[in-house]
């Protein structure tokens, strides 16, 4: 009933088409591979295979293909759950999810979340973001930035990485650095490739873990 309600809600947006529904994680993986969606809205606790394992299996690169392969068309995953637990957030991000929303989010938040994730940006519920940043801030007091981790980045790519970590979109980064948005897209692609990161969400986590932002 809840799944049908969410599908109806998302379908009411003219730019979103719901192409399938799954009742468990294993079925979600199978259907996603068959239907090739842009975004999968994933629950965490499900029968047969939970959402974290399903996300990891879905985001994992197919055999013989690197995660950074341009031909890679794996879907983005937006985790939607009632459980506001830190370990779930870390596991979801580690599994490759691009966003994490709680089920007390508004209908507008969910629709916006799907749009944001589909565009390749990161999305975390505000309460989760505060805790995540607080945790990284505590770690940073005991950790020095690692120059070797970013040795392959140019100064401009470092600027772009820091602005990604602050949550800026490509258009906002372009305005900040007075560059064309297409140029920023190119820099973002180089950053992700050089650091072997899947998406902007991992770039944010990388930046905080390595003390590039506070």
pLDDT at 63: 36
Looking at the DSSP bridge assignments, the partners of residue 9 are none
HEC string of the chain equals CHHHHHHHHHHCCCCCCCCCCCCCHHHHHHHHHHHCCCEEEECCCCCCCCHHHHHHHHHCCCCCCCCCCCCCCCCEEEEEECCCCHHHHHHHHHHCCCEEEECCCCHHHHHHHHHHHHCCCCEECHHHHHHHHHHHHHHHHCCCCCHHHHCCCCHHHHHHHHHHHCCCCHHHHHHHHCCCHHHHHHHHHHHHHHCCCCCHHHHHHHHHHCCCCC
Which of 1, 6, 55 shows the shortest CA–CA distance to 26? 55
For residue 193, with 0-12 CB atoms within 10 Å meaning exposed, 13-18 middle and 19 or more buried, which class applies? middle
pLDDT at 137: 55
Q: Per this entry, what is the length of the chain?
A: 214
pLDDT in tens, the chain (214 residues): 889 999 999 999 999 999 999 999 999 999 999 999 999 999 988 888 999 899 988 887 443 344 444 335 679 999 988 776 667 777 887 778 888 888 788 888 899 989 988 987 777 766 666 666 566 556 555 555 566 778 889 999 999 999 988 878 888 999 999 999 999 999 999 999 999 887 887 788 788 778 787 6
pLDDT at 65: 40
pLDDT at 214: 61
């Amino acid at each position: 009933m809840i799944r049908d309600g969410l599908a109806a809600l998302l379908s009411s947006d003219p730019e979103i088409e719901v192409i399938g529904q799954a009742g468990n994680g294993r079925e979600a993986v199978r259907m996603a591979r068959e239907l090739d969606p842009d975004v999968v809205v994933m629950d965490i606790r499900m029968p047969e295979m939970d959402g974290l394992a399903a996300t990891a299996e879905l985001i994992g690169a197919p055999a013989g293909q690197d995660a950074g392969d341009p031909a890679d068309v794996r879907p983005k995953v937006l985790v939607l759950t009632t459980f506001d637990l830190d370990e779930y957030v870390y596991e979801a991000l580690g599994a490759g999810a691009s966003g994490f929303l709680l089920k007390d989010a508004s209908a507008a938040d969910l629709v916006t979340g799907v749009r944001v994730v589909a565009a390749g940006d990161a999305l975390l519920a505000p309460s989760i973001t505060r805790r995540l940043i607080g945790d990284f801030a505590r770690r940073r007091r005991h950790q020095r930035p690692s120059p070797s981790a970013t040795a392959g980045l140019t100064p401009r790519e470092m600027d772009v990485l820091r602005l990604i970590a602050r949550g800026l979109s490509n258009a906002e980064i372009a305005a900040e650095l007075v560059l064309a948005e297409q140029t920023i897209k190119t820099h973002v692609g180089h950053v992700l490739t050089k650091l072997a990161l899947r998406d902007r969400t991992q770039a944010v986590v990388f930046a905080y873990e390595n003390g590039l932002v506070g």
